[in-house]
Amino acid sequence: MTALDMCTKCQGTGWVLEDAGGSPVAKRCVCFSTRRQQALVEQANIPRRYVSCRLDTFEAHNDSHKDALKISRQFIKNYPAQDIGLLFIGPCGVGKTHLAVAIIQELILKKGANCIFYDFRELIREIQSTFTSDSVLSESDVLTPVFQAEVLVLDELGAKRTTAWVEETIFYIINHRYNHKKITLFTTNYPDTENDEDTRDAFYKRGGETLIDRIGVRLRSRIYEMCKVVEMWGDDYRKMAKQASYRF
Ligand SMILES: [Zn+2]
């Protein structure tokens, strides 16, 4: 049903009259929650390629995937009695974004939660674009939904190199959410381990850069206060770990 389709039960008013012992009582029509869900889905800004991501369609290929799936299910079950978010860490292609999107999709459908998705680079680009003189959007047009969403997904944290301006802006957003006890789910390709650079290179192919190198110490420590860390490994993790140990 689209917004243009008129509900035949309530003629689009969202209310129906039900008989309660002889006198009519106004009740919400079933189309009301369907419309609310649709509005929440539209506001959530989920990229088209992730729209069908659900927990049921997530393929767990190793123990780290199984753990991540279990944590995601528990998160949805607990919500809104869930006071910390999740930080999914792992190399490209392990399904971090899939899980983060699946969580907000289910929160929208099952709990009616107001959620929003942003790619880290896209968010920075959108904020920067409001600074140009011909921009129709103001900075607060972009930031208000990001501040207000009950759950924010910030995908690919650190994918854009930190400048003082980026670091300050992102810290401001994240800190605002932290102060207002709002949940944020992050994904990142940057390792945050004590592994030596040689091993990091093998797992992540990122020239040994860590999350701290990309987002700075202050933001990283704030995120750790706000989130449970969910580490995910690729299918070739064991093979690579073995190879790394043969090297010496
Ligand atoms: Zn209706």
E strands present in the chain: 15-20, 23-28, 85-89, 115-119, 151-155, 183-188, 227-231
Q: What is the pLDDT of residue 28?
A: 92
Report CA(10)–ligand 1 centroid distance (Å). Answer: 4
Ligand 1 center from residue 35 Cα (angstroms) = 9
* Per-residue three-class SS string for 51-64: CCCCHHHCCCCCHH
Ligand 1 center–CA 28 separation, angstroms:
8
- Cis-peptide into 80, omega within 30 deg: yes
| Centre of ligand 1 from the C-alpha of residue 116, in Å | 26
Question: 25 C-alpha vs ligand 1 centroid, how far in Å?
Answer: 15
Match 């509005």 to its residue by tokens: 39
**How far does the centroid of ligand 1 lie from the alpha carbon of residue 4, in Å?**
12
Q: Cβ distance 150 to 113 under 8 Å?
A: yes
In which residue ranges of the chain is pLDDT below 50? 1, 3, 200, 238, 247-248
What is the CA(245)–ligand 1 centre distance, in A? Answer: 63
Q: Which residues of 48-85 are buried (b: 16+ CB within 10 A; e: fewer)?
A: eebeebeeeeeeeebebbeebbeebeebbeebeebeeb
**Mean pLDDT estimate for the chain:** 87
29 CA to centre of ligand 1 in angstroms: 5
User: How many angstroms separate the alpha carbon of residue 33 from the centre of ligand 1?
Assistant: 9
Q: 109 C-alpha vs ligand 1 centroid, how far in Å?
A: 18
How far, in Å, from the CA of 76 to the mean position of ligand 1? 28
Let me know if 242 is exposed, middle or buried by CB neighbors in 10 A (0-12, 13-18, 19+): exposed
Q: How far is the CA of 134 from the centre of ligand 1 (A)?
A: 42
Question: Which pLDDT does position 20 carry in this prediction?
Answer: 83
Q: What is the pLDDT of residue 167?
A: 85
DSSP 95: S
Q: Treating both helix axes as pointing N-terminal to C-terminal, what angle do 96-111 and 30-43 enclose, rounded to 10 degrees? A: 150
